[in-house]
Amino acid sequence: MTAEPVGVAVIGCGVISGQYLRNLAGFPAVRVVACADLDPARAEAAAAAHEVPYAGPPADVLRLPEVELVLNLTVPAAHAEVARAAVAAGKHVYNEKPLTSDPGSARDLLAAAGRAGVRVGGAPDTFLGEGLQTMLRLLDAGEAGRPLSAIAIMQGPGPQRWHHDPEFFFRTGAGPLFDMGPYYLTALVAALGPVARVVALSSRATDHRVIAAGPRAGTRFPVEVPTHVSALLEFRSGAVATTVFSFDSPLGRQDFLEVTGTEATVAGPNPNGFRGPLRLRRAGETDWTEAPVPEPVSGRGVGVAEMAVALRRGRPHRASGELALHVLDVMTAIGLSAGRDAFVAVESTCSRPDPLPQGWDPRTAIA
């Protein structure tokens, strides 16, 4: 017998909420029952635009009995506070990245959720897209042999080139590592399992940047964080990875993800997306072979839908709080290592999430 969809409240109705609300409307495992924001007008506008029945302040939304899961899309500095309030109200919660602003508050959140008997999930959910899931199934099938190493590169000139208000990208808690790192590191953990230790170097090209687009073009602002981070990761499996996260490169490159095994190298898709392409090059071959990737059906919110199905069926969900905490721990360890000139151990661990079943579709998966 089919269970009722999981009732979802969206807290935080900024720009990213539009993508979530559009996609969630097409996922039968969930039903968005409320929108909330500290700015009532913004919540009301989001509710009206997406035909959500209720908009109000966060505290009121958390009292609604039909809300089972809170999708927390607030600014990163508020992730811990809003999620703890949801847990205290007996609600499951799914946070946008990062899970919280620091590992300590993330651990507190997971502990509180455990005591309350509710679940925590966390973005990014791009690793659940057709491109990366095909890659994970290929690796699990042994097509590359035993995974030995990986390379992940994200580089470009920085968001000040195109964003009208880019200052937050260059403040503490952001930068290329914390803004873009979650996509690449989550993909690596999904492929190779948890990280044991890291060593890193970082640099900052300039202490100020200039906005190049929009009405504030020409505005100069300070840079608070490293804008280039290079890190080596050692996984508990024994595999190693080389990573680069940079806002200092004239060359834009965001789709470089390779996993090399004893038999082949797999070139994956952009970890900040849900589609392919995917290529395989076996030992002794001189050309890449394109691997078929299903037409993309996923988008922002697929992690929420998969979590809803898991809730109803009593099984673990894949975009879990433990995975999000581990990735946050890895990023924090990278930052610490860059400042210490030494290896730093990653305190947490997590289970490597199983690939989704072949053909799993959030548009048809029901709770």
Indicate if 105 and 172 belong to the same structural domain.
no
In the structure encoding, which two tokens stand for residue 251, read together?
């060359």
* Residue pair 234/346 in contact by the 8 Å Cβ criterion: no
State whether 145 and 272 are in the same domain: yes
Last-in-domain residue among 261, 291, 321: 291
* 351 occurs within a structural domain: no
- As a dihedral over the C-alpha atoms of residue 208, residue 209, residue 210, residue 211, rounded to 10 degrees, the angle is -130
- Is 80 inside a domain boundary? yes
Q: Which two tokens stand for residue 217?
A: 């073009």
Q: CA nearest 322: which of 88, 136, 76, 111?
A: 111
Q: What share of the chain in percent tops pLDDT 70?
A: 99
Tens digits of per-residue pLDDT, 58-68?
999 999 999 99
Q: What is the pLDDT of residues 20-30, one digit of tens each?
A: 999 999 999 99
Dihedral of CA 317/321/323/327: which sign? positive
Q: Is residue 341 predicted with pLDDT exceeding 90? A: no
* 142 within some domain: yes
> Are 243 and 269 within one domain?
yes
Residue 29, domain extent: 6-122
Are 160 and 110 in the same domain?
A: no
Can you give the pLDDT at residue 205?
A: 96
228 lies in some domain = yes
The last residue of one of the domains, among 291, 316, 344, is: 291
367 occurs within a structural domain: no
Q: Indicate whether 147 and 18 sit together in one domain.
A: no
Domain boundary among 74, 105, 122: 122
pLDDT band at 2 (very low <50, low <70, confident <90, very high): low
Shared domain check, 114 and 177? no
- What total of structural domains would you count in the chain? 2
pLDDT per residue as tens digits for the range 129-180: 999 999 999 999 999 999 999 999 999 999 999 999 899 899 988 899 999 9
- Clarify whether residues 141 and 284 are in a common domain: yes
Q: What pLDDT was estimated at residue 75? A: 86
Are 167 and 214 within one domain? yes
- Kindly state whether residue 229 falls inside one of the protein's structural domains: yes
6 neighbors 309 (Cβ within 8 angstroms): no
Residue 1, pLDDT score: 44
What 3-state class would DSSP assign to 157?
coil
- Tell me, yes or no, whether 270 and 174 share the same domain: yes
What's the pLDDT tens digit per position in 167-213? 989 998 889 999 999 999 999 999 999 999 999 999 999 999 999 99
Q: Are residues 70 and 138 in the same domain?
A: no
